[in-house]
């Protein structure tokens, strides 16, 4: 697999000079951002679900259908589908439909979800956090691997020799998104799912043992190696200073809003500078960001890097600038650095 | 409301000279059919869900996202969403996302579903057929009518003062699809939902009491009148004979396949001719079909007529011919006849 460059977004509510944009406008903006990403040669755009006032994307697939119909080359998928509070059969049907629309370009990434809003909203109990995900991941994996499936679990009546339609024309692309639990890495390897590691803070090299665990497990299984990807937040602008000025206020707003319910300390400029210098914020000029991505790709042995490009009430014009620079400058620079 | 002309399809598996097309190909064909429908000036295209080998559409919204992104004017929606086996919050989120993508052009029709495959597939019990639908329809109606909702039912934990995102920019368009039960008609009127009557056999005039019940109920409530629509199967070709020759074998195949599990007698040519002459098959030349639609529209006082244009293993080229004739010839003829 040639090194790929992706984008991820949860559809953060952006703001322009007039004020916050509507969720509906953010959805339309996201479609335009995907079209731009396709035009500047990026390989992937992923949409993640949230169920809160500060995010516009709760249903990814209608927007993915529009994105795939409006683009030529880019892959598009979920990043991530919170499988614990969804139905694996519906998830499979939606992915198979997207893959039919854009053969080979639709992807799915499943995860446990780091926000808990979706559990009560869809009638699930957070006490079932573990078994909900494990059982649903097993059912989804069966659906992807076999035509006729049977399934027995504790959260739904059994299924016996069922086939789910529409039938895919090729193997569907399902990734496993993990936060940092070795158990999840082992599960992904066992389920033949390529791995996305979400690294949203701290030195990315801390994840080297995770990447190695995944590779060694696959090797021990005698199984083919599967792609490894990292998702991290960041922002690209013409200069380091401009990138920091454009990104800091929105990122800090988002960080502190989420942090209030999680007991995080307030985000400071010093913490921001430290995350850029030694942590997992890819913020700066194209050259700064390219160097940082190249270091991470090399340290972890990655096949794909996805930049989580939206964070809090940023100006949508800045998001477009960042996407254009990431595709046209950063990606070729990283490829040169690693050549 | 000016009289509108729509199409409905469940994505029947079509067949060409080579044999049956793949489900994925049918999904791509359906997108092309929607684009054609938009070009020939039709007002609506609706997609219905099935979970069987003879139909390709089980997930409507990814395809609707692609349709809305690929068309200019046509409304697109579900016909119908089997709400009993879905989650009203997910359904609302998908519709709000589609409406954001194509402001004012996304629609939803909810119904109980006349096929039962979806119940075991998604873990529901057919014994809950009544309460599942009633509770879910109430929850959906609250989501559409109010921003902050509370809900208590027997099929999920309660919700208290919840808001679901993304927020729509305008009232979402939700129709109620009914087969022929007066209770459903009364429910639709009480819930402020416009009515779609699925008339798939017999003389359409039999449904006049249903249409009147709906109108009288709305009048008694002192509520504004809402649109009334009819969905019926049919096929248009250059001549009556050509339409019958092209349609009969596929329609009979579909009828007998479904009829096997429902104890229907085999479909005969005589039954076919009788349904065309006095029943609910709109099959023939543009003039024949236009006359029949005009009669139904007048008898029931309709605002919209939707032709269920796919039925069994038809040739996809014939479907395209029918759509083109329906939009360019039938619709203007009906409008002239009723002027």
- Judged by CB atoms closer than 8 Å, whether chains meet at B65 and A70 is answered as no
Q: Nearest Cα to A181, choosing from A139, A219, A140, A209?
A: A209
Number of H helices, E strands in chain B: 12, 14
The residues in A 97-156 lying below 8 A from B, measured between CB atoms, are: 97-101, 103, 120-123, 125, 155-156
Ranges of beta strands (E only) in A186-311 are: 195-198, 228-236, 282-284, 304-308
Of B239, B242, B237, B247, give the one whose Cα is nearest residue B315. Answer: B247
Distance of CA A111 to the CA centre of its chain: 10
Helices assigned H by DSSP within chain B: 23-39, 60-70, 88-101, 118-121, 129-145, 182-190, 208-220, 240-260, 269-278, 286-300, 316-325, 331-338
Q: What is the dihedral of CA B175, B177, B180, B186, to 10 degrees?
A: -30
**Is-contact B19 B318, C-beta < 8 A?**
no
pLDDT in tens, chain B (339 residues): 699 999 999 999 999 999 999 999 999 999 999 999 999 999 999 999 999 999 999 999 999 999 999 999 999 999 999 999 999 999 999 999 999 999 999 999 999 987 888 999 999 999 999 999 999 999 999 999 999 999 999 999 999 999 999 999 999 999 999 998 999 999 999 999 999 999 999 999 999 999 999 999 999 999 999 999 999 999 999 999 999 999 999 999 999 999 998 999 999 999 999 999 999 999 999 999 999 999 999 999 999 999 999 999 999 999 999 999 999 999 999 999 999
For residue A179, the model assigns a pLDDT of 93
User: Is the Cβ pair A59, B94 closer than 8 Å?
Assistant: yes
**Number of neighbours of residue A118 by Cβ within 10 angstroms:** 19
Q: Which residue in A57, A100, A125 is closest to B28 by CB distance? A: A100
Packing angle of the helix pair B88-101, B129-145 (nearest 10 deg): 40
Of B50, B121, B156, the CB nearest to A89: B121
Q: What are phi and psi of A4, to 5 degrees?
A: -110, 150
User: Which residue of A22, A28, A66, A158 to mutate against B (max B Cβ within 10 Å)?
Assistant: A66
pLDDT at B114: 77
* Coarse DSSP helix, strand, coil percentages of chain A, rounded to the nearest 5 percent: 50, 20, 35
Query: Nearest CA of chain A to the CA of B164: how many Å?
Result: 7
Per-residue confidence (pLDDT) for residue A115, from 0 to 100:
83
C-alpha A147, offset from chain centre? 27
Residues of A in contact with B28 (CB under 8 A): 100-101
The reply to whether B23 touches chain A by the CB within 8 Å rule is yes
Please, which residues bridge with residue B197 across strands? Answer: B178, B230
Are the beta carbons of B101 and A27 separated by less than 8 Å?
Answer: yes
Q: Is the ipTM of this complex over 0.95?
A: yes
Q: How many helices (H) and strands (E) does chain A have?
A: 12, 14
Query: Which residues on A lie below 8 Å from B24 (Cβ)?
Result: 96, 99-100, 103, 166-169
A63 touches chain B (CB under 8 A): yes
Buried b (16+ CB within 10 A) or exposed e, A143-171: bbeeeebebebeebeebeebebbbebeee
- Four-CA torsion A29, A35, A40, A41, nearest 10 degrees: 130
- DSSP 8-class letter at B172: -
A62 closest CB neighbour out of B22, B70, B101: B101
Identify the segments of chain A with pLDDT beneath 70. 1
- CB nearest to A23's CB, from B64, B100, B156: B100
Residue of chain A with shortest Cα separation from B96 = A24
Residue-level pLDDT at B303: 98
| pLDDT for residue A116 | 84
Contact A317, A311 (CB under 8 A): no
Cross-chain residue pair A166–B56, CB shorter than 8 Å = yes
Topology (CATH) of A4-338 = TIM Barrel (3.20.20)
Q: What are B323-337's pLDDT values in tens digits?
A: 999 999 999 999 999
- A88-101 and A60-70 helices, crossing angle to 10°: 10
- Which of A97, A118, A142 to mutate to test binding with chain B, by most B CBs within 10 Å of its CB? A97
B286 to chain A, minimum CA–CA distance in Å?
Answer: 32
- Which residues of B are less than 8 Å from A24 in CB distance? 96, 99-100, 103, 166-169
Q: Is A47 on the interface with B (CB under 8 A)?
A: no
Mutate to test the interface with A, among B22, B65, B172 (most CBs of A within 10 A): B65
The alpha carbon of residue A221 is apart from the nearest alpha carbon of chain B, in Å, by 33
* Chain A interface test: which of B48, B165, B171 (most A C-beta within 10 Å): B165
Sequence spans of domains, chain B: 4-338
> Does the CB of B26 have a partner CB in chain A at under 8 Å?
yes
Q: State residue A57's pLDDT score.
A: 98
Whether chain A has a CB inside 8 Å of the CB on B87: the answer is yes
Torsion (CA) A315, A319, A324, A329 in degrees, nearest 10: 110
Cβ contact (<8 Å) for B56 and A165?
yes
Q: Which of A52, A64, A120 sits opposite B165 (nearest CB)?
A: A52
Please list every residue in chain A whose beta carbon sits closer than 8 Å to the beta carbon of residue B56.
Answer: 100, 165-166
* Contact indicator for A30, A23 with CB cutoff of 8 Å: no
Can you give the pLDDT at residue B113?
A: 82
Any B CB within 8 A of A170 CB: no
Alpha-carbon torsion angle A3, A92, A74, B38, nearest 10? 180
Distance CA B55, CA B290 (A): 28
The token pair that represents A53 in the structure block? 């006032």
- The residue among A31, A47, A59, A99 with the most chain B CBs within 10 A of its CB, best to mutate, is A59
* Closest chain B residue to the Cα of A168, Cα to Cα: B24
């Amino acid at each position: 697999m040639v090194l790929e460059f992706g984008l991820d977004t949860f559809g953060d509510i952006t703001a322009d000079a007039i004020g916050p944009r509507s969720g509906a406008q953010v959805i339309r903006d996201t479609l335009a951002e995907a079209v731009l990403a396709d035009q500047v040669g990026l390989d992937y755009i992923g949409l993640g679900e949230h169920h809160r006032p500060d995010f516009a994307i709760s249903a990814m697939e209608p927007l993915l259908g529009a994105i795939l119909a409006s683009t030529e080359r880019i892959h598009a998928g979920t990043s991530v589908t919170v499988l614990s509070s969804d139905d694996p059969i519906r998830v499979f049907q939606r992915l198979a439909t997207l893959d039919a629309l854009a053969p080979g370009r639709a992807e799915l990434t499943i995860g446990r979800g780091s926000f808990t809003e979706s559990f009560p909203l869809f009638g699930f109990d957070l006490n079932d956090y573990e078994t909900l995900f494990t059982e649903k991941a097993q059912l989804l994996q069966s659906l992807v691997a076999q035509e006729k499936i049977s399934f027995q679990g504790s959260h739904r009546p059994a299924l016996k020799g069922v086939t789910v339609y529409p039938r895919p024309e090729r193997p569907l692309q399902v990734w496993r998104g993990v936060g940092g639990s070795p158990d999840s890495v082992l599960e992904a390897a066992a389920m033949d799912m390529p791995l996305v590691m979400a690294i949203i803070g701290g030195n990315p090299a801390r994840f080297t043992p995770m990447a190695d665990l995944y590779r060694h497990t696959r090797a021990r299984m005698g199984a083919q190696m599967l792609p490894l990807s990292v998702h991290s937040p960041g922002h690209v602008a013409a200069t380091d200073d401009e990138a920091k000025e454009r990104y800091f206020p929105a990122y800090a707003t988002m960080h502190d809003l989420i942090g209030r319910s999680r007991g995080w300390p307030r985000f400071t400029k010093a913490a921001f500078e430290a995350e850029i210098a030694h942590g997992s914020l890819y913020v700066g000029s194209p050259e700064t960001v390219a160097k940082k991505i190249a270091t991470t790709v090399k340290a972890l042995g990655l096949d794909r890097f996805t930049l989580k490009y939206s964070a809090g009430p940023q100006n949508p014009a800045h998001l477009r600038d960042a996407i254009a620079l990431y595709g046209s400058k950063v990606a070729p620079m990283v490829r040169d650095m690693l050549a």
